[in-house]
Amino acid sequence: MSVAIENFVKAIYKNGKRDHNDTKPGNIAKELGISNAAATDMAKKLATKNLLHYEKYQELKLTNKGTKMALNVVRKHRLWEALLFKLFDMSLHDIHREAELLEHQTSDLLANKISEYLGNPKFDPHGDPIPNASGEITTIDTSIPLSNTEEGKTYTISRLMSDDKEFFDFCAQNGLKYGNSVLISKQFSKNKMTQILINNNTILLNEDFTSIIYVNEQN
């Protein structure tokens, strides 16, 4: 299976996981930076390969086979992120970009070796869960976006759901890192801003950020 196909099923998988699950060709096209026409073509083709269900004008739905393929690519991506993060001093954004390419050129054998070397980690450096070799995500995700947190409580950062360089640069500068603690100083419901205390610094985040930073409540 080609890189284009792997990326296609991966895009459907990711878009399907989101709030407003939109997996119509146009959204997948946007995700991949290709034309809508190309996405429709590919969707039809992958339907014949039993990777997804295609019905005109409807959302694209991965079959079990398609989901398995997507999870296998996601597994390799996240294992590479974890390995590069451990070995090298590189920004999360750079690590993501390298993993985006390496994920398609990695045998199952190598993926298993990386996993073993890292002690079979359950999460990558963004806090995203790493599927196991069978394509299952065994961890239960109880985390919530920062936008849904309560004033005065303290949380642990569990996921940074983004690929964006500026976002990661901002995170790196402000200690917004997987595992770190944040205290919610104030929730401004009107303009959907959130004020947090982290590393003894007070910072103010807008919804763009509070919707992609996930946390778990500390007990």
Taking the complex as a whole, how short is the minimal distance between the CB of residue 163 and a second copy, in angstroms? 16
Asked whether the beta carbons of 62 and 16 are under 8 A apart, the reply is yes
List the one residue from 37, 101, 133, 204 that touches a second copy (CB under 8 A): 101
Q: Indicate the burial class of 205 (C-beta count within 10 angstroms; 0-12, 13-18, 19 or more).
A: buried
x/- track of binding to a second copy for residues 115-154 (CB under 8 A): --x-------------------------------------
Q: Which of residues 56 and 190 has its CB atom nearest to DNA in the complex?
A: 56
Residue 146 CB neighbours (<10 A): 23
SS3 149: coil
Q: Is 133 in the site for DNA (CB under 7 A)?
A: no
Total chain residues near DNA (CB under 7 A):
27
Residue 193 binding: pick among a second copy, DNA, none (C-beta 5-8 Å cut-off by kind):
none
Q: Which two tokens stand for residue 156?
A: 């642990």
Nearest to 202 by CA among 188, 216, 186, 189: 186
Which positions from 69 through 98 interact with a second copy, judged by CB under 8 A?
84, 87-90, 94, 97-98
- Other beta carbons less than 10 A from residue 141's beta carbon: 14
Q: How far is the CB of 15 from a second copy (least distance, A)?
A: 24
Which listed range, 18-26, 103-111, 137-145, 201-209, lies at the site for DNA (CB under 7 A)? 18-26
Give, in order, the Cα–Cα distances in Å from 60 to each of 65, 76, 179, 204: 14, 23, 35, 38
Window 36-65: residues binding DNA (CB under 7 A): 36-38, 40-45, 54, 56-58
- CA-based nearest residue to 78, from 51, 30, 114, 47: 114
Which residues would be at the binding site for a second copy (CB under 8 A)? 84, 87-90, 94, 97-98, 101-102, 104-107, 109-110, 113-114, 117
